[in-house]
């Protein structure tokens, strides 16, 4: 990373800054509202902020995303949304958020992470669209990717991912 950045879990005091980072990065309100709805609904597993000089400049969130199979639910999490303030993009902050976010998920015992994102960006962290083809989702295609935090976690698993209800409002 070219910028001096600290990454840590969000606190209540970060909520306004997280809203602003999402608004500015996406150029709209939808993702900021999604973050708040996921928090309110108790769907958040991990939410990290990136701080530069004490200011929140980046944010990443992971929420519950069970895989519904014929024999029961397999736990998994969705990476979404992720945002870095425009002036701080392309300096490695987003990558650091993904890496530390995946570590935090692993530390919680999560085994599978799913993302809908840029096919050029996420494979460097182990995400694969091929791995995700066994998962039924409203978002099939090369942008829909999965990574196993435990090797083989998706072995033999086929089912439908169930996004938390606030994602429906994003359509």
Beta strands across the sheet bearing 67-69: 72-74, 67-69, 159-161, 135-136
Our finding on whether 57 is near ligand COA (CB under 6 A) is no
Strand partners for 135: 159
Q: Between residue 88 and residue 107, which ones bind ligand COA under the rule CB under 6 A?
A: 89-95
65 within 8 A of 166, measured Cβ to Cβ: no
CB of 131 to ligand COA, least distance (A): 19
Our finding on whether 133 is near ligand COA (CB under 6 A) is no
131 within 8 A of 148, measured Cβ to Cβ: yes
CB of 155 to ligand COA, least distance (A): 27
Our finding on whether 82 is near ligand COA (CB under 6 A) is yes
Our finding on whether 125 is near ligand COA (CB under 6 A) is no
Number of chain residues interacting with ligand COA (CB under 6 A):
18
Interface with ligand COA (CB under 6 A), residue from 3, 26, 126, 133: 26
CB of 82 to ligand COA, least distance (A): 5
Q: Provide the strand spans (E) within the chain.
A: 6-9, 44-52, 55-64, 67-69, 72-74, 77-84, 112-116, 135-136, 144-148, 159-161
Q: Which residues bind ligand COA (CB under 6 A)?
A: 25-26, 80-84, 89-95, 117-118, 120-121
């Amino acid at each position: 990373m070219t910028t001096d950045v600290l990454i840590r879990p969000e606190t209540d005091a970060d909520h306004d800054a997280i809203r602003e980072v999402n608004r500015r990065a996406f150029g709209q309100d939808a993702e900021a509202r999604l973050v708040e709805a996921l928090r309110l609904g108790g769907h958040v597993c991990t939410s990290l902020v990136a701080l530069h000089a004490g200011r929140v400049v980046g944010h990443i969130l992971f929420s519950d995303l069970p895989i519904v199979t014929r024999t029961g639910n397999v736990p998994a999490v969705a990476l979404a949304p992720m945002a870095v303030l425009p002036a701080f993009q392309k300096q490695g902050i987003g990558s650091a958020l993904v890496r530390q976010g995946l570590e935090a998920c692993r530390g919680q015992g999560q085994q599978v992470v799913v993302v809908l994102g840029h096919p050029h960006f996420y494979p460097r962290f182990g995400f694969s669209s091929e791995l995700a083809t066994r998962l039924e989702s409203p978002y099939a295609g090369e942008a829909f990717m999965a990574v196993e935090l435990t090797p083989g976690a998706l072995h033999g698993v086929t089912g439908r991912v169930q996004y938390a209800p606030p994602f429906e409002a994003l359509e």
